[in-house]
Amino acid sequence: MKKVVKFGGSSLASAEQFRKVGEIIKADPDRVYVVPSAPGKRHSKDTKVTDMLYKTYELAKEGKDFGKQINDIKARYNEIIEGLGLGLDLSKEFETIEKNFREKAGPDYAASRGEYLNGIIMANYLGYEFIDSATVVRFDNNGDFDSETTNRLMTKKLEKTPKAVVPGFYGAYADGKIKTFSRGGSDITGSIVSRAIRADVYENWTDVSGFLVADPRIIDKPPYIETITYTELRELAYMGASVLHEDAIFPVRKEGIPINIRNTNKPEDPGTWIVESTAKKSKYVITGIAGKKGFCCVNVVKDQMNSEVGFVRRVLQAFEDQNISIEHVPSGIDTMTVFVQQDEFIDKEQAVVSEIHRLAHPDMLEIESDLALVAVVGRGMRATRGTAGRIFSALAHASVNVRMIDQGSSELNIIIGVETRDFEKAIAAIYDIFVTTQV
Ligand code: ASP
């Protein structure tokens, strides 16, 4: 068996955390490829090294002195090195970094040093080989991740390296210039390494024991999800449930490799399994509930809309022309509604309204604001009769007025639009009916 283990920033914030990580890796000889993040927060008021690097680079870019800031970063790494009793000296690395900062190597280069240096420490601590991700993770000239070239480079390199540390979050263009993924992107690197070696499992170690069935800020102590499919996860992540970077499932998905979310501080917890497909039933009919506030909708009414060819397209064109992405489009015979994100829409609303009038000549148009969407997700819903009925009766009992219903064609999710003030109440009511009552 071959396992890839990725550790998040909080798992590597101090020497004490590094030790826990070392024990986890040594406990299982299959854990042969390690992907570290940069050191994260040691306590709630602390600053992540990545953020320190961005700030320090800002000063360098303006030609200001950044001596104190870079020393603070050095101190973070030295504390780890000394705490682990390693005979490692990063001064040469820091000389290069300072020189490159002065030469304005760019914010991506700056941020990437967080993972790069942590990778060097990790490799030294474990006795694994260090691989600079700039040599194996490739971006194309448009700045997009080049998955196939990366897979080729990574596979070739790892074939010759039975145990290695590959720092997360960054790669490079063909000319060697450093480029990072978006924030939290070390999760993607872990997935890329897993794909390249066809790992049996991609373990993603963080500071929680997996995905929760619902947001703990709304629901008191919700249980963890044991197994979730990639698709269910996409639905929940899109609606705001975040543990894993949303692009991290794509590389492993190509090879059907499962991801296991684990807790560095509680390694005995089984965590959540993210899989392509499973025969395992989830404990409840639903797998999870998530939601987002901050939507508004445009209701468009026109008599005999259903027989007017091209009407929907013309309405949607008005949004496209203003570069506004659309979330949902429920429709009736003579009505259609377009859900959009309020902050993206608000400055352009009058332009959209007049364009809808110009393109589609509706009889009436109306905008409603302060709406929230709640997604109820679960592969079990397809096989269970009455799920939608139970959701809506629970909402009715909780006096939540349902403004929109959208069931995905996969029958994997039901999306419900409610007023923002009913958001928490709606989630609690759905949670109660499916989880608290255990049916
Ligand atoms: N260190 C980077 C960040 O803070 C990437 C990561 O941790 O995944 O976003």
Q: Which two tokens stand for residue 415?
A: 């999306």
Is residue 186 within 8 A of residue 35, CB to CB? The reply is yes
The closest-lying atom of ligand 1 relative to the alpha carbon of residue 187 is 8
Look at residue 280 and tell me if it is in a domain.
no
**Residue 167 Cβ < 6 Å to ligand 1:** no
Q: Residues 96, 243: one domain?
A: yes
Tell me how far the alpha carbon of residue 133 lies from the centroid of ligand 1, in angstroms.
14
Q: Is residue 281 part of a domain?
A: no
Q: Examine the domain organization and report whether 305 and 216 are in the same domain.
A: no
The pLDDT of residue 37 is: 98
For residue 280, the model assigns a pLDDT of 79
Q: What is the pLDDT of residue 435?
A: 93
CATH code assigned at 101:
3.40.1160.10
In a domain, 130, yes or no: yes
Q: Give the Cβ contact number of residue 368 at 10 Å.
A: 15
Please give the Cα distance from 165 to 9 (Å, whole number): 15
186 lines ligand 1 (CB under 6 A): yes
Decide: residue 332, CB within 10 A, 0-12 exposed, 13-18 middle, 19+ buried. exposed
Identify whether 259 is part of a domain. yes
38 lines ligand 1 (CB under 6 A): yes
- In the chain, which stretches have pLDDT less than 50? none
Q: Which of 356, 371, 353 is nearest to 305 (CA)?
A: 356
DSSP structure string for 18-73: HHHHHHHHHT-TTEEEEEE-----SSTT---HHHHHHHHHHHHHTT---HHHHHHH
Cα 350 to middle of ligand 1, angstroms: 39
Question: Do the domain assignments include residue 132?
Answer: yes
Point out the domain boundary residue: 275, 308, 334. Answer: 275
Q: Do 39 and 114 contact (CB within 8 A), yes or no?
A: yes
Nearest CA to ligand 1 atom 8: 184
Best residue among 11, 48, 53, 166 to mutate for probing ligand 1, ranked by most atoms within 8 Å of CB: 48
Domain with 389 in it: what CATH number? 3.30.2130.10
Residue 282 counted as domain residue: no
Q: Say whether both 377 and 420 belong to one domain.
A: yes
Tell which of 275, 299, 328 closes a domain: 275
CB 133 within 8 A of CB 168: yes
Compute the distance from residue 348 Cα to the ligand 1 centre, in Å.
33
Same domain, 178 and 59: yes
Which pLDDT score is estimated for 165?
Answer: 98
**Main-chain phi, psi angles of 384, to 5 degrees:** -115, 125
pTM (two decimals):
0.88
Q: Give the domain-ending residue among 275, 300, 317.
A: 275
Considering its fold, how many domains does the chain have in total?
2
Q: Is the CB of 37 under 6 A from ligand 1?
A: yes
Cβ contact 158:194 at 8 Å? no
Its domain, for residue 349, covers 288-436
pLDDT of residue 438: 63
Q: Which amino acid is at 176?
A: G
Check residue 239 and give its pLDDT. Answer: 76
Residue at 202 is within a domain = yes
